[in-house]
Chain A
Amino acid sequence: MVHIPASSVRDSSHVLETHDLRAYYRMKYFGIDREVRAVDGISMHVRKNEIYGIAGESSCGKTTFIKAIAAAIRPPLEIVAGHVKYSFIKDGLYELPAAERSAIRWRHLSYILQGSMNVLNPVRRIHKTFEDFAFRHMHLGRAEFDLEVKRHLERLRLPAEILHAYPHELSGGMRQRVCIALATLCKPEFIIADEPTTALDVVVQKDVLAMIRETQTEFGSSMIFVTHDLTVHANVTDRLGIMYAGRLVEEGRTADVFSNPMHPYTAHLIASLPKIGDTQPRSALSGSPPNLADPPKGCRFHPRCPLAMEICRHENPALTMLAEDHRVACFAASTKVQPSKDGEQGEMKTLEVVR
């Protein structure tokens, strides 16, 4: 068993890398193809022991992106191009045989999902779910496993009685904590958290976030944290990526992004956050997110962009490093931003593709 020592915090090696990842919904009826480009060329990486946040409006492709890096691809969703690479596997995620991919799950790669009400099997007691998910990875006897689960819950300050409960007998916050316990039981290298706090009320949300932060630090896991709620990102994530219409438009250290948003979309998102003492309603962005089956040419944001220029209508801006650890894909942000080739996004230099 490989344990990542806590001392390796802020290790700069990459746990996850994607390169030009494209995941499309493809439907064929009577020879007519229809393509929805939900993830369209995303290159990014997550460093060891960091929490990487992804933000964006609903239907911007966040969920599809997560599905793609989690290998939760079911038709009609397809990986069209690109690579997903984890440090704990030799080859790319999609080059791995299905059986091996399955063996990695939960041991190295686990998830915390939105909607704690519905992510636990309603007719199964919690301890059964723990068994289903983790038993085969722990290589322990039944009694030792049970002991280990209890010890783990204790560590997370959860009462052991919940193991005998059905999911509906627990409160929403408790269920989400159970999910976190479940996701961290095997001390995986990587955790994907998809809107883990969305349905919770503010007080519980705060506790749960603290717990995520704590366990992540304690076990030294890396994490992708997806939520549309920017305040959550501000509290939890180390780095933040902003997605719009299937593409990453800005990425940087969370504090940098908040203090110095360079993409007009990011700037808009941050500006529309409610602030204490506000009396005026926030200005809304005109228009709606594009139809991904037929996205606009050029920069996908240009129809709604207050700064749109001629070039934006024709060319797709490449995600360009404009400051330390801060990438932006906007022609208006800097002249350094060049049109990307064949719609490909991101600067190759910033990536060290491990093959």
Chain B
Amino acid sequence: MRSYVIYVGKRVLQFALVVFVGISITFLITHLTPIDPVEHAVAQVSTFGFSSPESIELLRQSLRELYGVGDNLWEEYLVFWQRLATLDFGPSLSAFPTPVSELIGRAIPWTIGLLTVSTILSWFIGNIIGGLAGYYSRNRVLRIIGMIMMGLHPVPYYIVAFVLLIAFTFVLPILPSSGGYEMNMTPGWTLKFIGSVLLHSILPSFSLILVGVGSWFMGMRALVSNIVTDDYVTYASLAGVPERRLVTSYVMRNAFLPQITGLAMSIGAIFNGAVITEQVFGYPGIGRLLVEAVHAADYSLVLGITSIAIIAVSAAVFIIDIIYPLIDPRVQVTQ
């Protein structure tokens, strides 16, 4: 127990260090962008409307003051950490003066909802079918599934999503093509709203699962086909241990363990959003917010989103490190 406490302590330190370095690097990079948020605001005013050069110059000055950009980088960095301590990322520069946290708060439930469900579903489906395919390597149906997976896995996600979109909104228009829920609905815990959210999430989640299942399938099948030749499986099958028990407790159980790490990482990575999914299906979420923020040089918003992502991924690594010795008896905490 004592060694476990020391182990956890070390991991906490490592977690803090990684978060700190990761966010600092991102801070530096986002401030290196050649895009000027003030120029973007100015362009928004001058692109279509009537404007005289004199007034544009005046506008530029007043915006620079208002946004507080162009200060000392070091000071900005210190202010950033002070704010982060209270989870305040300051005002967005591309939706001034709305706080970054408000923008993120609006987008993130969609991202979490869609990606958690599709990540976990693809993990289960991929691993279970992959495990069976690895164990019953001569089963014809599983072999065919394996071939489909092998063919589907390398298809670029954009193509998969796009083909699904065309298939179910154009060729056979039975599913909505855009949005998180039906237009003119008011979000709430009503059956109608939830039904609409589910209907709108079918295509995005299906596309993610279709692509996600492939890599879990391939990984699990490879793991299982290795484990099947391991001595303890051979021994148990020689001992006539019933097949169901053999597959579940001997083969799958052992193969699942490394996959849990993968699952945790994928769930941590959720907070990066799914840019292409959101783009193709017009689904609300944090990925698009991030792309737009990068485009508009809204570094407050970029940093807000990436900080959350960094913390989430580090936390996933951390939690897995902490939990793994408890779920896998082989891992000794001293290592």
**Residue from A70, A110, A119, A128 in contact with B232 in the complex, judged by beta carbons closer than 8 Å:** A119
User: Residues of A contacting B230 with CB < 8 Å?
Assistant: 118
B interface residues, how many (CB within 8 angstroms): 22
Q: Is A123 an interface residue, CB under 8 A from the partner? A: yes
User: Which residue of the partner chain B has the closest CB to A118?
Assistant: B231
User: Residues of B contacting A70 with CB < 8 Å?
Assistant: 238
Q: Is A213 an interface residue, CB under 8 A from the partner? A: no
User: Residues of A contacting B253 with CB < 8 Å?
Assistant: 121, 123-124
Q: Is B70 an interface residue, CB under 8 A from the partner? A: no
Instruction: Give A89-126 as 1s and 0s: 1 = Cβ < 8 Å from B's Cβ atoms.
Output: 00000000000001111100011010100111111100
Q: Is A168 an interface residue, CB under 8 A from the partner? A: yes
User: Residues of B contacting A169 with CB < 8 Å?
Assistant: 329
Determine how close the nearest CB of chain B comes to the CB of A131; give it in whole angstroms: 9
Asked, given contacts A72-B234, A132-B245, A132-B249, whether A121 binds B254 with beta carbons under 8 Å apart, the answer is yes
Q: Is A133 an interface residue, CB under 8 A from the partner? A: yes
Q: Is B250 an interface residue, CB under 8 A from the partner? A: yes
User: Which residue of the partner chain B has the closest CB to A122?
Assistant: B330
Instruction: Give A162-202 as 1s and 0s: 1 = Cβ < 8 Å from B's Cβ atoms.
Output: 00001011000000000000000000000000000000000
Interface residues of A in 130-165 (CB under 8 A from B): 132-133, 136
Contact across chains for B231 and A111 when beta carbons are under 8 A apart: no
Determine how close the nearest CB of chain B comes to the CB of A72; give it in whole angstroms: 6
A interface residues, how many (CB within 8 angstroms): 26
Q: Is B21 an interface residue, CB under 8 A from the partner? A: no
Contact across chains for B238 and A105 when beta carbons are under 8 A apart: yes
Contact across chains for B330 and A111 when beta carbons are under 8 A apart: no
Contact across chains for A132 and B241 when beta carbons are under 8 A apart: yes
User: Residues of B contacting A132 with CB < 8 Å?
Assistant: 236, 239, 241, 245, 249
Contact across chains for B240 and A123 when beta carbons are under 8 A apart: no
Interface residues of B in 228-285 (CB under 8 A from A): 230-232, 234-242, 245, 249-250, 253-254, 257
Asked, given contacts A103-B240, A106-B239, A133-B241, whether A123 binds B234 with beta carbons under 8 Å apart, the answer is no
User: Residues of A contacting B257 with CB < 8 Å?
Assistant: 123
Asked, given contacts A111-B238, A168-B330, whether A119 binds B231 with beta carbons under 8 Å apart, the answer is yes
Q: Is B328 an interface residue, CB under 8 A from the partner? A: yes
User: Which residue of the partner chain B has the closest CB to A106?
Assistant: B239
Per the bound structure, the CA–CA distance linking A184 and B319 in Å amounts to 43
User: Which residue of the partner chain A has the closest CB to B332?
Assistant: A168
Contact across chains for B240 and A105 when beta carbons are under 8 A apart: yes
User: Which residue of the partner chain A has the closest CB to B253?
Assistant: A123
User: Which residue of the partner chain A has the closest CB to B243?
Assistant: A102
Contact across chains for A168 and B245 when beta carbons are under 8 A apart: no
Per the bound structure, the CA–CA distance linking A164 and B249 in Å amounts to 17
Per the bound structure, the CA–CA distance linking A166 and B330 in Å amounts to 8
Contact across chains for B328 and A106 when beta carbons are under 8 A apart: no
**Residue from B138, B236, B239, B330 in contact with A110 in the complex, judged by beta carbons closer than 8 Å:** B239
Residue of B234, B237, B257 with highest tally of chain A CB at under 10 A = B234
Contact across chains for A123 and B330 when beta carbons are under 8 A apart: yes
Per the bound structure, the CA–CA distance linking A110 and B241 in Å amounts to 12
User: Residues of B contacting A111 with CB < 8 Å?
Assistant: 235, 238-239
User: Residues of B contacting A105 with CB < 8 Å?
Assistant: 238-240
Asked, given contacts A122-B330, A168-B329, whether A106 binds B240 with beta carbons under 8 Å apart, the answer is yes
Per the bound structure, the CA–CA distance linking A110 and B237 in Å amounts to 11
Among all A-B residue pairs, the 10 with the closest Cβ atoms: A105-B240, A118-B231, A166-B329, A119-B235, A102-B240, A133-B239, A119-B231, A121-B232, A132-B241, A106-B239
Residues on B facing A (Cβ under 8 Å): 138, 230-232, 234-242, 245, 249-250, 253-254, 257, 328-330
Query: Could you write out 19 A-B pairs with CB less than 8 Å apart?
Result: A70-B238, A72-B234, A103-B240, A105-B240, A111-B235, A113-B234, A118-B230, A118-B231, A119-B235, A121-B232, A121-B249, A122-B330, A123-B253, A123-B329, A123-B330, A128-B249, A132-B239, A133-B236, A166-B330
Known: A124-B253, A168-B330. 15 other contacts (CB 8 A): A72-B234, A102-B240, A105-B238, A105-B239, A106-B240, A110-B239, A113-B231, A113-B235, A119-B231, A121-B232, A122-B232, A123-B254, A132-B241, A132-B245, A169-B329
Residues on A facing B (Cβ under 8 Å): 70, 72, 75, 102-106, 110-111, 113, 115, 118-124, 128, 132-133, 136, 166, 168-169
